[in-house]
Amino acid sequence: MASMLGTSSIALFPSPSRCQSSPSIHSFSLTTGQVFGRKFYGGIGFHAIMGRPQFSVASVATEVNSVEQAQKIASKESQRPVYPFSAIVGQDEMKLCLLLNVIDPKIGGVMIMGDRGTGKSTTVRSLVDLLPEIKVVAGDPYNSDPQDPEFMGIEVRDRVLQGEQLEVVYTKINMVDLPLGATEDRVCGTIDIEKALTEGVKAFEPGLLAKANRGILYVDEVNLLDDHLVDVLLDSAASGWNTVEREGISISHPARFILIGSGNPEEGELRPQLLDRFGMHAQVGTVRDAELRVKIVEERARFDKNPKEFRDSYKAEQDKLQQQIALARSSLPSVQIDQDLKVKISKVCADLNVDGLRGDIVTNRAAKALAALKGRDKVSAEDIATVIPNCLRHRLRKDPLESIDSGLLVIEKFYEVFS
């Protein structure tokens, strides 16, 4: 299904204004596209959204200076080495789902289920190396977007309305791990009640959801997550905001993130309410080919022996896919899908008795992202066939007597409708 991936690697969220001209890219048979040059404007325009007032900022701070860049490089070198994404052998379906969510975060995340020791956590955490920088308001704990009011904290929005100049810096997109044993206060944040009562100020200590805003929230063994944390994730995923209520004090902040979960189905089922919040579902199986297993073992042994040398050997492939993802993200808004294909997607969903319309929306988005990844501006039926099992598999009603894989049911219905 996703065999086109090969030995590809990944990048995430590069801003069009940061992309520079790059040579042609060969992985995924990508047709060379246009990369926009760097431009900086004297002000930031805010588009009115859902009746909100339109406001603007007079000026924008310059890029991060060379000292800060040197500090970032030194910090990166001191971090624990991560296995390169491009070095992961096989598991094409999982890698493709991650790639598509990187290109279009609005797909809604990925749920990865499979056997133990199949590289689920390693693959997800390998994205850390390839996450690009984004614009944020300096000193803001919520990574507020200086251009989009939807991703702004309340304090930043008030500063904008007052005409205050915002200092804008570039920072690495966060990948936040949510531990199974985390407390609700650690996830949501805490309010200092004593300070609020004595000084009359809202003293808020942000939690993991604040840190994950505009980034990735990863939950390993998500099917073992406590119910009270599942409720918190459901609320944030539905509204895009996290609200903390303590002793009559209420604080809200934006919490929009790509939710990635992984787990082993043998250890327990995921609550259906949370499962429905994942845009795509990838199934991972144990590699059965003996030669491929030997290659995986040897590559892992090389990494454990000398991580830096191993990572350097894959640097060219990592850089190549970063450029490819940058092109795909910049061209995504121009990708079109014919009305006839939209109707057929909805017919497949209807014939499979998929509840709600999330399946239709996610399939359209994922097909567009795949077309952009291939360097095309139009979605084909082949693109839809590639992504539709991952978009609908977890949305079908479960039949305990059904022995066939739900992904195969989706494929059968697809060919029946599209033929």
Residues designated as active site: 358
Looking at the chain, the number of H-run helices and the number of E-run strands are 16, 13
Backbone phi, psi, residue 263, to 5° = 180, 170
The one-letter amino acid at 274: L
Kindly list the distances between the CA atom of residue 113 and the CA atoms of 93, 261, 283, 287, 367, in Å, as whole numbers in the listed order.
Answer: 11, 8, 5, 15, 22
Q: Rounded to an integer, what distance in angstroms lies between the CA atom of residue 405 and that of residue 267?
A: 19
Cβ count near 287 (within 10 Å): 17
Kindly list the distances between the CA atom of residue 81 and the CA atoms of 51, 131, 307, in Å, as whole numbers in the listed order.
Answer: 47, 15, 7
As beta bridge partners, residue 45 has 56
Distance from CA of residue 393 to its chain's centroid?
19
| Burial status of residue 392 (CB atoms within 10 A of its CB: 0-12, 13-18, 19 or more) | buried
DSSP string, 221-284: TGGG--HHHHHHHHHHHHHSEEEEEETTEEEEEE---EEEEEE-GGG-PPPHHHHTT-SEEEEE
- Packing angle between helix 339-351 and helix 381-392, nearest 10 degrees? 30
Maximum C-alpha span of the chain: 70
Strands 175-177 and 168-172: unpaired
In contact, 112 and 261? CB cutoff 8 Å: yes
Residue 385, helix vs strand vs coil: helix
Q: Is the dihedral of CA 350, 352, 353, 359 positive or negative?
A: negative
Backbone phi, psi, residue 11, to 5° = -140, 170
Task: Give the contacts of 326 (CB within 8 A, at least 6 positions apart).
Answer: 11, 14, 19, 22, 35, 132
Q: Rounded to an integer, what distance in angstroms lies between the CA atom of residue 373 and that of residue 356?
A: 28
